[in-house]
Homo-oligomer: A and B are copies of this chain.
Protein backbone atom coordinates (compact mmCIF):
# COMPACT_ATOMS: atom_id res chain seq x y z
CA UNK A 1 0.00 0.00 0.00
CA UNK A 2 2.19 2.76 -1.24
CA UNK A 3 -0.38 5.50 -0.67
CA UNK A 4 -0.45 8.50 1.65
CA UNK A 5 -3.75 8.40 3.53
CA UNK A 6 -5.45 9.83 6.62
CA UNK A 7 -4.59 13.02 8.48
CA UNK A 8 -2.26 13.54 11.42
CA UNK A 9 -1.33 16.47 13.61
CA UNK A 10 2.24 16.63 14.93
CA UNK A 11 4.10 19.26 16.86
CA UNK A 12 6.60 21.63 15.31
CA UNK A 13 9.44 22.92 17.50
CA UNK A 14 11.21 26.28 17.23
CA UNK A 15 13.66 24.93 14.69
CA UNK A 16 10.89 23.69 12.39
CA UNK A 17 11.47 20.09 13.30
CA UNK A 18 8.45 17.79 12.98
CA UNK A 19 7.82 14.05 12.97
CA UNK A 20 6.61 12.57 9.70
CA UNK A 21 3.66 10.29 10.50
CA UNK A 22 4.82 6.69 10.70
CA UNK A 23 2.34 5.56 8.06
CA UNK A 24 3.71 8.18 5.66
CA UNK A 25 7.24 6.98 6.25
CA UNK A 26 6.08 3.45 5.44
CA UNK A 27 4.98 4.55 1.97
CA UNK A 28 8.38 6.06 1.17
CA UNK A 29 10.96 3.67 -0.29
CA UNK A 30 13.33 2.72 2.50
CA UNK A 31 16.39 3.32 0.32
CA UNK A 32 15.98 7.09 0.16
CA UNK A 33 14.39 8.14 3.42
CA UNK A 34 13.55 11.57 2.09
CA UNK A 35 10.66 13.57 0.74
CA UNK A 36 10.26 16.37 -1.78
CA UNK A 37 8.23 19.42 -0.82
CA UNK A 38 7.29 22.82 -2.22
CA UNK A 39 4.93 25.65 -1.21
CA UNK A 40 1.58 25.03 -2.87
CA UNK A 41 0.81 27.16 -5.90
CA UNK A 42 -2.88 27.39 -4.96
CA UNK A 43 -3.19 26.96 -1.18
CA UNK A 44 -1.65 28.04 2.10
CA UNK A 45 -0.05 24.64 2.37
CA UNK A 46 3.09 22.66 1.64
CA UNK A 47 2.83 19.97 -1.02
CA UNK A 48 4.81 16.80 -0.50
CA UNK A 49 5.54 13.48 -2.17
CA UNK A 50 8.26 10.93 -2.42
CA UNK A 51 11.19 11.94 -4.58
CA UNK A 52 10.39 9.63 -7.47
CA UNK A 53 7.28 11.69 -8.10
CA UNK A 54 9.54 14.60 -9.01
CA UNK A 55 10.51 12.70 -12.13
CA UNK A 56 6.84 12.31 -12.93
CA UNK A 57 6.45 16.08 -12.79
CA UNK A 58 9.57 16.61 -14.85
CA UNK A 59 8.20 14.43 -17.63
CA UNK A 60 5.45 16.98 -18.17
CA UNK A 61 8.03 19.44 -19.39
CA UNK A 62 9.47 19.63 -22.83
CA UNK A 63 12.76 21.14 -21.86
CA UNK A 64 13.54 22.25 -25.41
CA UNK A 65 10.25 24.15 -25.56
CA UNK A 66 11.30 25.84 -22.36
CA UNK A 67 14.35 27.21 -24.09
CA UNK A 68 12.15 29.20 -26.47
CA UNK A 69 9.25 30.02 -24.16
CA UNK A 70 9.11 33.11 -21.92
CA UNK A 71 9.05 32.16 -18.28
CA UNK A 72 5.64 33.77 -17.82
CA UNK A 73 4.08 31.28 -20.23
CA UNK A 74 5.73 28.18 -18.94
CA UNK A 75 3.78 25.32 -17.43
CA UNK A 76 3.11 25.06 -13.70
CA UNK A 77 5.44 22.07 -13.69
CA UNK A 78 8.34 24.44 -14.29
CA UNK A 79 7.34 26.51 -11.30
CA UNK A 80 6.91 23.43 -9.15
CA UNK A 81 10.36 22.11 -9.97
CA UNK A 82 11.93 25.48 -9.31
CA UNK A 83 10.37 25.65 -5.85
CA UNK A 84 10.85 22.04 -4.76
CA UNK A 85 13.43 20.85 -2.31
CA UNK A 86 14.20 17.37 -1.01
CA UNK A 87 14.47 16.90 2.74
CA UNK A 88 15.94 13.85 4.35
CA UNK A 89 14.12 12.11 7.17
CA UNK A 90 16.39 11.72 10.18
CA UNK A 91 16.92 8.62 12.31
CA UNK A 92 13.98 9.56 14.53
CA UNK A 93 11.59 9.97 11.62
CA UNK A 94 11.63 13.76 11.56
CA UNK A 95 12.17 16.44 8.95
CA UNK A 96 13.09 20.12 9.29
CA UNK A 97 10.80 22.45 7.38
CA UNK A 98 12.43 25.63 6.00
CA UNK A 99 11.22 28.81 7.68
CA UNK A 100 9.82 30.28 4.48
CA UNK A 101 7.75 27.13 3.86
CA UNK A 102 6.43 27.33 7.41
CA UNK A 103 5.55 30.95 6.87
CA UNK A 104 3.79 30.23 3.58
CA UNK A 105 1.57 27.64 5.27
CA UNK A 106 0.91 29.78 8.33
CA UNK A 107 2.24 27.05 10.58
CA UNK A 108 3.08 27.95 14.17
CA UNK A 109 3.45 25.06 16.60
CA UNK A 110 1.50 22.28 14.93
CA UNK A 111 1.48 20.72 11.45
CA UNK A 112 -1.42 18.87 9.87
CA UNK A 113 -0.40 16.12 7.44
CA UNK A 114 -3.09 15.30 4.87
CA UNK A 115 -2.72 12.11 2.81
CA UNK A 116 -3.92 12.34 -0.79
CA UNK A 117 -2.75 9.06 -2.28
CA UNK A 118 0.33 9.69 -4.38
CA UNK A 119 0.95 13.04 -2.67
CA UNK A 120 0.30 14.72 0.66
CA UNK A 121 -0.03 18.21 2.09
CA UNK A 122 1.16 19.93 5.26
CA UNK A 123 -1.11 22.64 6.72
CA UNK A 124 -1.47 24.78 9.76
CA UNK A 125 -4.51 23.17 11.42
CA UNK A 126 -6.43 26.45 11.56
CA UNK A 127 -5.74 27.28 7.93
CA UNK A 128 -6.89 23.83 6.88
CA UNK A 129 -10.17 24.08 8.76
CA UNK A 130 -10.69 27.48 7.26
CA UNK A 131 -10.02 26.26 3.72
CA UNK A 132 -12.28 23.26 4.11
CA UNK A 133 -15.07 25.41 5.49
CA UNK A 134 -14.93 27.54 2.34
CA UNK A 135 -16.59 25.02 0.04
CA UNK A 136 -14.52 21.99 0.82
CA UNK A 137 -17.34 20.32 2.70
CA UNK A 138 -19.35 17.65 0.94
Contact = CB atoms under 8 A, between A and B. Distances in A.
Interface of A: 1, 3-7, 23, 32, 34, 36, 40-43, 45, 47, 49, 51, 53-58, 60-61, 63-64, 66-74, 76-86, 114-119, 121, 131-132, 134-136, 138
Given A64-B56, A72-B134, A1 B43 contact: no
B55 A71 contact: no
A83 B7 contact: yes
Contact of A72 (B3, B4, B121, B135): B135
Contacts of A131: 70-72
Contacts of A41: 67-68, 138
A53 B62 CA distance: 13
Q: From DSSP, what is the main secondary structure of chain A's interface residues?
A: mixed
Contacts of A70: 42-43, 131
> For A67, A73, A119, which residue has the most chain B Cβ atoms within 10 angstroms?
A67
Contacts of A136: 71-72, 74, 79
Contacts of A51: 1
A116 to B, nearest CB: 5
Given A58-B118, A61-B117, A118-B58, A76 B81 contact: no
